[in-house]
Amino acid sequence: MISQLQQRIYTVHPTSLKNGIRRTRSSWLKKIKNPSKVGFRTLRFFLCFLSILVCAWQVSVCLNRHFKEPISTIVVMEYNIDNYTFPTIVVCPNEFIDKVISQLKMEEMNTFSLESWKNNELHSSVIKQKCSEAVNTDCVAKNLSGIPIDTVEGHCYKYVNSNVYRFTGTDFWQTELIFPGMNVTSSAQIYTSSKSVYKYNLQNLKLTPNALNFLFFRMTEVILSDGGLAVKHQGFQNKNTNRNPCWSEDRVINCLNLCMDNILRRSNITCMLPFLTTDLPFCSTWENISTFYRTNLNKAYMERHTCDCKRPCKSVTYTTFVKGSSDFKLITRKTICMFVGTPEIVVIEVLSYPLSSLTADVLSNVGFFLGISMLTVFDFILQTFKVVGICIKKMSTLKNVHKI
């Protein structure tokens, strides 16, 4: 009986122990295996998706730089030794405010005369253009009167020689300025500018495409026949991009002039001078003129940074300097300034993002994407090894219990 009882216990106990082990094993798999599977997949998907987004963003940045906004700069200098042109020449009376005071005697007259603003000494001046080396066939050798223009420098005259000349390498005068009506004690300033003229003194601004170079001269000074005023050309070209657009030089100058006009109109001005177009009356006293220049105009210059004017796509800086003889003397009652053209030096700013740089950046970003993907795989393998280790440990425990 005892042996039968022991045999019955031996038969039932392994079965119940086996069932208990099975229940324990299935509950452990239910708690561990399913959550780890979902968590691993979620983590892998998130990291892979994040790496794809970062990689796509970096590639788009590289493509944008390649096609729209290059980052590297190449400066190219070209010498145009074939042809040359002359700038617009602007002649203004020197120290015109003192001339206005002496002519109008505003403190006594208490009035402003527009005709008196004009400088009679420059009224009869002309520009003489020649055609011996002109490239264009419609060139006509003649004297052209100046075009009146009002600026902050006073009532000035501009002279335009639109002909294109062939550079021969010799000092041959192709344009001359003649001032037959200037007094011996008179003086003036010659500005070289683009076709559009600045009404304001903007040569020191970073916004302006070119500097207004000028030469001061007196009636008692005239350049001899073996000397002249050489006009040196230096051009600048900028690339027009969608992110950093540029305008024509004339458009930039007109924009700056209009902006300065608007700034002055918004200021607390009570009168105007001829270069400013507004409905206000002319400044009638020297006190008003002094206030306009020393207060209103200076404030306008301080606000010029608010002008929303783009950079010029192409601009030319003209430098005027004495060429040849440096001796000056009075020849009759006529002042003649003879100009000599020189070859143009063009500085071209080429912004580029070469294909080699694009390929290197794209491959580096793809490598970054693969790196993140490999980290994800390594993390998954590490977590898998941890789970396998736990399973092996549990299986070893199960075998030990089974042996008992």
Residue 80 CA to chain centroid, in angstroms? 25
Give the C-alpha separation, 397 to 404, whole Å.
11
- The model carries a pTM of 0.60
For the residues 75-95, what does the mean pLDDT come to? 73
Beta-carbon neighbour count of residue 5 at 10 Å? 9
Residue corresponding to tokens 């100058």: 253
Structure tokens at 36: 């780890």
**CA 170 vs CA 162, 214, 229, 341: distances in Å:** 21, 24, 14, 10
Encode pLDDT of 146-167 as tens digits.
888 888 888 888 888 888 888 7
C-beta separation of 60 from 52 below 8 A: no
- What's the whole-number mean pLDDT along residues 392-396? 77
Neighbouring C-beta atoms of residue 343, cutoff 10 Å = 14
Judged on CB neighbours under 10 Å (0-12, 13-18, 19+), 98 is: exposed
pLDDT, residue 16, reads: 47
Kindly tell me if the per-residue pLDDT of 175 is higher than 50.
yes
Rounded CA separation 16/366 (Å):
58
**Is the pLDDT assigned to residue 102 strictly greater than 50?**
yes
Read off the pLDDT of residues 342-373 as tens digits, 9 standing for 90 and up.
666 666 666 666 666 667 777 776 666 666 56
> Rounded to whole angstroms, how far apart are CA atoms 282 and 285?
9
User: Look-up: residue for tokens 């520009």?
Assistant: 127
pLDDT at 145 over 70: yes
Q: What is the pLDDT of residues 266-317, one digit of tens each?
A: 888 888 888 887 888 888 777 787 788 888 888 888 888 888 888 888 777 7
> Is residue 44 exposed (0-12), middle (13-18) or buried (19+ Cβ within 10 Å)?
middle
Block residue for tokens 């223009």: 149
Q: Taking the mean position of all CA atoms in its chain, how far away is CA 110?
A: 47
Question: Percentage of residues in the chain with pLDDT exceeding 90?
Answer: 2
Q: What are the pLDDT digits (tens) for 35-64?
A: 556 666 677 677 777 777 777 777 777 776
Kindly give the pairing relationship between strand 246-247 and strand 311-312: parallel
Question: What per-residue confidence (pLDDT) applies to 259?
Answer: 92
pLDDT at 108 over 60: no
pLDDT of 258 reads: 92
Calpha distance 148→182 (Å, rounded) = 17
Q: 172 falls in which pLDDT band (50, 70, 90)?
A: low
What integer pLDDT is reported at residue 27 of this predicted model?
47
Q: How far apart are CA 344 and CA 157, in angstroms?
A: 26
- Are 171 and 340 in contact by the 8 Å Cβ rule? The answer is yes
Q: Quote the CA–CA distance of 300 and 199 in Å, as a whole number.
A: 13
Give the per-residue pLDDT at 17: 46
Top mean pLDDT of 85-94, 200-209, 304-313, 346-355 is at 304-313
Q: What percent of the chain has pLDDT over 70?
A: 52
Confidence at residue 37, expressed as pLDDT on a 0 to 100 scale: 64
